[in-house]
Amino acid sequence: MNRRSLLCRTGALGVGASLGDDAPPRRKVVVAGGHPGDPEYGCGGTIARCADLGHDVVLLYLNDGVPAGKPKDGVRVAEAGQACEILKARPLFVGQVDGDAVVDRAHYEAFARLLTAEKPDAVFTHWPIDNHADHRAMSLLVYDAWLQMKRSFALFYYEVSSGEDTVQFAPVQYVDVSAVEPRKRRACFAHVSQSPGRFYTLQDQVARMRGIEKGCLQAEGFIRHVQGPGFDLP
């Protein structure tokens, strides 16, 4: 190899290295919700944008959407799988029962072990003031795990069906989801058994309201716990 070829090759490698240095680091993002559909409705746009940045995104569901005494037909698990495929995420289930969430020492410790194994850089979960007991339970489980894990990940709260489920939520950070709204819609409508037309209409109104606050067509709002590490939202 002559000197000129060597210099050209070195220059090419230098450009490549520079481009690689500019790429955002791959992070682990966990979005926790009470039921299949909650993460998708509450922050499906943010999930899509995080996945598009190359982040490893997990949707963590407290239960499979089947109440006690009902047959485990796998319908909602399959719907969650389809929604995650659309959003480029991975589904994971805690294993509790829809409508019968348990929050005690044993469940706190088991949940912390599960979350520790995922090694998240950021976790999104329900705002704790919520009219649904399963949403409140998931929020408490995440918060306790965050404390057990020495506040090692950024902790964000999101809203679902604001005013109907989530109440008294005042976001301080926003993600513009205008461009990925069609994908969020498809992920939510993957939950065919859950009347997505009715629920998505309300969530769409919330996203438009948050968009007005941010200055875009549609946005999702969040509150980050100030005692945790920072995390750059898309």
Query: For the segment 11-66, what is each residue's pLDDT rounded down to a tens digit?
Result: 333 333 333 456 668 999 999 999 999 999 999 999 999 999 999 999 999 999 99
The two tokens of residue 193 are 């058994």
Phi, psi (degrees; rounded to nearest 5) at 145: -65, -40
**pLDDT score of 4:** 41
**pLDDT score of 23:** 63
Indicate whether 179 belongs to any domain.
Answer: yes
Mind listing the pLDDT tens digit for each residue in 193-217? 999 998 899 999 999 999 999 999 9
Indicate whether 71 belongs to any domain.
Answer: yes
Indicate whether 111 belongs to any domain.
Answer: yes
Overall number of domains in the chain: 1
Indicate whether 199 belongs to any domain.
Answer: yes
**pLDDT score of 5:** 42
Nearest to 126 by CA among 209, 183, 43: 43
Indicate whether 60 belongs to any domain.
Answer: yes
Residue type, 163: G
Q: Which position has the token pair 């993002």?
A: 29
CATH of the domain at 56: 3.40.50.10320
Indicate whether 103 belongs to any domain.
Answer: yes
Indicate whether 45 belongs to any domain.
Answer: yes
Which residue range forms the structural domain that includes residue 50? 25-224
Indicate whether 230 belongs to any domain.
Answer: no
CA distance 112 to 69: 28
Mind listing the pLDDT tens digit for each residue in 127-148? 999 999 999 999 999 999 999 9
138-172 CB burial, b ≥16 within 10 A, e <16: bbbbbbbbbebeeeebbbbbbbbbbeebbeebebe
Mind listing the pLDDT tens digit for each residue in 137-186? 999 999 999 999 999 999 999 999 888 899 999 999 999 999 999 999 99
CA distance 86 to 129: 29
